[in-house]
Structure 1
Amino acid sequence: MTINLYVPQMFFLLLLFVLLFSSLDVWYFLRCAQVFVWSCFQPRVKNILSEQRMDGQVLLHDLDYMGHMNNSRYLRECDFARFHHSMRNGLFMASFGLGAKMVVGASTVWYRRSLGFREVFEIRTRVLGWDQKSFYLEQRFVSKKDNFVSAVMLCRLNVVHCSPEDILQAMGQEKINSPEFSEDLKYWISFISANSQSLRAESGLKEE
């Protein structure tokens, strides 16, 4: 009789579990929590220009029908690596304290070699520079079996409600100047700007 009383409760919990996992990307939020806690126990990085590394491994849920890491998973892993990066160097807490947000305004990925099942890699994230509105980051996927750069991502992080200079000042790094942009980064920024202006013109909007 006691066992029968638990059957409706177990059924309800199972139903709740199924509904939760079918309507929400639970693993994403669990991974966010894991990266947050792990980052809290990592040593702080004082120099915003320092490269930071985060380990990863290709698991079953990362695979596509071709048996290697799905293209969309690279972007997802970059999200976690940027969060880890901004937690360790203070960017996240400084922007949070100012009521600002850093959102991805543009990104480009090129794939040089696929990552296979169970392959261990690390994501190397570094700030390339900044302007009045955005930070520019590079993220590299480096295979640990032979140190080969499997993929590279360029990312523009737009700062909303303040500026990169405001955040750097809150971090106590206002005296650090942005490194000079490389030619390929300048080309990429020009491409994004030209594309944005073209789309604005199509919509009948004025140029920014």
Structure 2
Amino acid sequence: MDSELLSRSLMFLLFLLLLLFVLLFSSLDVWYFLRGAQVFVWSCFQPRVKDVLSEQSVDGQVLLHDLDYMGHMNNSRYLRECDFARFHHYMRNGLFMASFRLGAKMVVGASTVRYRRSLAFRETFEIRTRVLGWDQKSFYLEQRFVSKKDNFVSAVMLCRQNVVHCSPEDILQVVGQEKIKSPEFSEDLKHWISFISANSQSLRAESGLKEE
């Protein structure tokens, strides 16, 4: 009788665990948080990059869950991979820990992706991330998806990383690179920032808000 009761209890426990597993994966993007934890731990064991302007790269490969109906990497997956690549970049050059100490946050204010050639199933690539410069409110980054089979730049992303509760200069000071000046913005970056500003003012006008 005791063994039968124990067996039923174990079956019930397994059922509850299975139900919890289903509810968790159906209501939360579990793999996103696990991947973020993996990037955090892996970055902690990587050598520190002292120059915030230096380019860093991470490897990737197109897997089954990355595919869309066309059989190549889904457009939204590029943005997701860029998220993890930026996190890795900030961890290694110290920007993430510096912002954490200041109680600040770095959030994406704008991003634009130019797709040049699709990445196919099992194709390997690099994401090369670099800081292009900064102003009083934001860091500006470029991220390139470079195919390993022929070194072709398959996609390019521009990202505006807004700094909340402090400024990029404050973060650089904590990192110990307050003497570094922002590189001069390229013409295409200037045009992109102008577009963001014009679009922001247009949306504010629609809402009856004053110009910034």
For the criterion TM > 0.5, the same-fold answer is yes
* Gaps in structure 2 of 5+ consecutive residues: none
Match of 1:84 in 2: 88
Greater Rg by CA: 2
Q: CA deviation at 1:143?
A: 0.5
Q: Distance in 1 between matches of 2:12 and 2:142?
A: 52
Amino acid paired to 2:168: P
Q: CA deviation at 1:3?
A: 3.0
Instruction: Choose the corresponding residue for 2:12, options 2, 8, 13.
Output: 8
Amino acid paired to 2:25: F
Match of 1:21 in 2: 25
User: SS in structure 1 opposite 2:111?
Assistant: strand
Amino acid paired to 1:36: F
Q: Distance in 2 between matches of 1:183 and 1:128?
A: 12
Match of 1:151 in 2: 155
Amino acid paired to 2:145: F
| TM-score (normalised: structure 2) | 0.97
Q: Distance in 2 between matches of 1:164 and 1:4?
A: 59
Match of 1:195 in 2: 199
Amino acid paired to 1:88: R
Instruction: Choose the corresponding residue for 1:206, options 198, 206, 210.
Output: 210
Match of 1:132 in 2: 136
Match of 2:111 in 1: 107
Match of 2:120 in 1: 116
| TM-score (normalised: structure 1) | 0.99
User: SS in structure 1 opposite 2:208?
Assistant: coil
Match of 2:60 in 1: 56
Q: CA deviation at 1:6?
A: 1.2
Q: Distance in 2 between matches of 1:6 and 1:79?
A: 41
Q: What is the alpha-carbon root mean square deviation over aligned residues?
A: 0.6
Amino acid paired to 1:21: F
Q: Distance in 2 between matches of 1:133 and 1:96?
A: 17
Match of 2:182 in 1: 178
User: SS in structure 1 opposite 2:47?
Assistant: coil
Q: CA deviation at 1:4?
A: 3.0
Q: CA deviation at 1:101?
A: 0.5
Q: CA deviation at 1:40?
A: 0.5
Q: CA deviation at 1:5?
A: 2.9
Instruction: Choose the corresponding residue for 1:164, options 153, 165, 168.
Output: 168
Q: Distance in 2 between matches of 1:25 and 1:36?
A: 17
Q: CA deviation at 1:201?
A: 0.6
Amino acid paired to 1:178: S
Q: Distance in 2 between matches of 1:207 and 1:76?
A: 32
Identity of aligned residues (%): 88
Q: Distance in 2 between matches of 1:200 and 1:23?
A: 34
Instruction: Choose the corresponding residue for 2:76, options 69, 72, 81.
Output: 72
